[in-house]
Amino acid sequence: MRPVFANSATITVPEFLVLGGGRLRPVRLGVRFGVWVHPQQGPVLIDTGYGPEITGGRRNLALTLYGQVLSPRLEDQPEDVLARLGFTVADVRTVFVTHFHADHISGLRRFPKARFVAAGWPQLTAMTPWQKVRHGIFSELVPDDFQERLTAVEGLSTTDLPFGKGHDIFGDGTLLALPLPGHAAGHCGLVWPEQKLIYAADAQWLSEAMRSGHVPHGPARLVYDDERAMTRSLALLRAAEASGYEIVLCHDPVS
């Protein structure tokens, strides 16, 4: 089956923040996560999106301010989508983390039995508290035993793709992690080679920006980990699209 993507929340921002040359008009962005069912491994969760961990409950000051500034409106949660597919949290044995920004990991603690697949963990642990906050990373959202349950993308075998190399998550070629550096430390997408589908997460916020090169200016660029690397990642995605792959992003607008 194809992965199922759902909006954990929506946020509303001025268009110019997410599109170079954009206007002042408000744009409602999705904050997506995904579920894909592997034939043997069962449901694979792709990020968790935003959850109540961001909008309420006991939080430190930085995370409280973050939630107040962005004011996400919560929608579907991973448990909802899993239930519609006939699964529960206990059935999830693998959670793929595209990167460690709060809008992608807020629900990780709800999956205490799953293994995590992610890249960039050493870079994350080397950051100072200020660097983490500046880049939208809040350690309290990361399970205490994350490292013990982590399978590092960097250690997985690689497979050739028409536009680069992917890391084989299950060793059967069905799902590949695709490094897309630039947006955040360890930022990766996912490739389903048989379906010619790529989930590019936050390689860019809008498909329009990815295709046209009208990337954001101003405050939105402060979060970038490496802007030159992001430019290379976007070129790779355009090459993939030209070779017939469909690209899905996390934050494309919703109606």
Measuring CA to CA, which residue among 85, 7, 93 is closest to residue 44?
93
3 has pLDDT over 90: yes
Identify the pLDDT of residue 218: 61
Label residue 150 by pLDDT band (50, 70, 90).
very high
pLDDT at 21: 80
* 137 Cβ neighbours under 8 A, 6+ residues apart: 100, 101, 102, 124, 127
C-alpha to C-alpha distance for 29 and 254, rounded to whole angstroms: 6
Q: What share of the chain is helix, strand, coil (3-state, %, to 5)?
A: 35, 25, 40
* Mean pLDDT across the chain: 92
Categorize the per-residue pLDDT at 17 as very low, low, confident or very high, splitting at 50, 70 and 90: confident
Report pLDDT for 221: 64
Stronger pLDDT, 233 or 24, i.e. the higher one: 233
pLDDT at 22: 81
Which whole-number Å values give the CA distances from 161 to 30, 112, 165, 176, 177, in the listed order?
29, 33, 5, 10, 11
- Separation between Cα atoms, residue 205 and residue 216, nearest integer Å: 9
Phi and psi, residue 218, nearest 5°: 80, -145
- Is residue 166 a contact partner of residue 177, using CB atoms and an 8 Å limit? yes
Q: Each residue of 124-138: pLDDT tens digit?
A: 999 998 888 888 889
pLDDT at 232: 93
Per-residue pLDDT tens for 45-87? 999 999 999 988 778 888 888 888 889 999 999 999 999 999 9
Q: Do the bridges between strand 115-118 and strand 197-199 make them parallel or antiparallel, or are there none, so unpaired?
A: unpaired
Which percentage of the chain shows pLDDT scores above 90? 74
Q: What is the pLDDT of residue 213?
A: 77
pLDDT digits (tens, 9 = 90+) for 184-235: 999 999 999 999 999 999 999 888 888 887 777 666 666 778 888 988 999 9
Tally the C-alpha atoms within 13 A of residue 13's C-alpha that lie toward its C-beta: 22
pTM across the whole model:
0.94
